[in-house]
Amino acid sequence: MARYRGPKTKKSRAFGESIYGYDKYFERKKYPPGQHGLAKRRKQKSDYGKQLMEKQKVKYAYGVLERQFRRMFEAASRKSGVTGEILLQMLEARLDNVVYRLGIAPTRRAARQLVTHGHIAVNGVVTNVPSYSVRPGEVVAVRGKSQGLVTIQESVAANSKEAQKYSWLEFNAEKLEGSFVAYPNRDEIPEPINEQLIVELYSK
């Protein structure tokens, strides 16, 4: 499956929740997409259907492809601890997600674009790989030549207090740089995800 680049609201409506953050269009139409909308009769989902839906929701929300996601799950399952929690920590540690959480970009899609275009540096080294796994203690910053970009300035101005919501991040709005302090605990990750369903799906 190629990375989804279609309408965000339509995909959120399919999952029944705003998976890309606040969406005023989703708030107006919280029913499934399609010609019949609310009139659609949907069968009760099987356990497998629920598990698959949860996995797909997480993939779309974080912008991860199936093969990438599978590899992340396998890596998480090899580590000691709760597999589902470790999987979410790995997703949160992705560079594009960290840039989004710091408020440097308004969405994960926008954060991915900043990274791929070479506007972000990790520990002073320009890193253009969105899936790069940021480690505790590493510093993520907007590179010097890119700090004047209007899109970055506007995002930081609008989301200057965004990073303060997360105890595992620190952000200096003046320097346009932040630190990944530690991997977040499960109760600190705000995404409405039932990771146990994903573990059950891959454990079959």
Q: What averages of pLDDT result for each successive group of 10 residues across the chain (204 residues)?
A: 61 60 57 57 77 91 92 96 96 97 93 96 97 97 94 90 88 94 94 94 88
- Distance (Å, rounded) from C-alpha 168 to C-alpha 181? 5
**8-90+192-202 homologous superfamily:** Ribosomal protein S4/S9, N-terminal domain (1.10.1050.10)
- Distance (Å, rounded) from C-alpha 67 to C-alpha 63? 12
Of 130, 154, 122, 150, whose CA–CA distance to 62 is shortest? 130
Does the pTM surpass 0.85? The reply is: no
Fold type of domain 94-180: 3.10.290
Of 88, 109, 106, whose CA–CA distance to 168 is shortest? 88
Which residue ranges does the chain devote to CATH 3.10.290.10?
Answer: 94-180
- What was the pLDDT predicted at 195? 95
- What was the pLDDT predicted at 29? 62
Which residue ranges does the chain devote to CATH 1.10.1050.10?
Answer: 8-90+192-202
Q: In sequence order, what are the residues at sequence separation of 6 or more whose Cβ sits closer than 8 angstroms to the Cβ of residue 12?
A: 18, 19, 20, 23, 26
- What was the pLDDT predicted at 40? 54
Place of tokens 């995800």: 193
- What was the pLDDT predicted at 1? 38
Q: Which two tokens stand for residue 158?
A: 């609008």
> First-to-last CA distance in the chain?
21
- What was the pLDDT predicted at 164? 85
At residue 155, φ and ψ (nearest 5 deg) are -65, -45
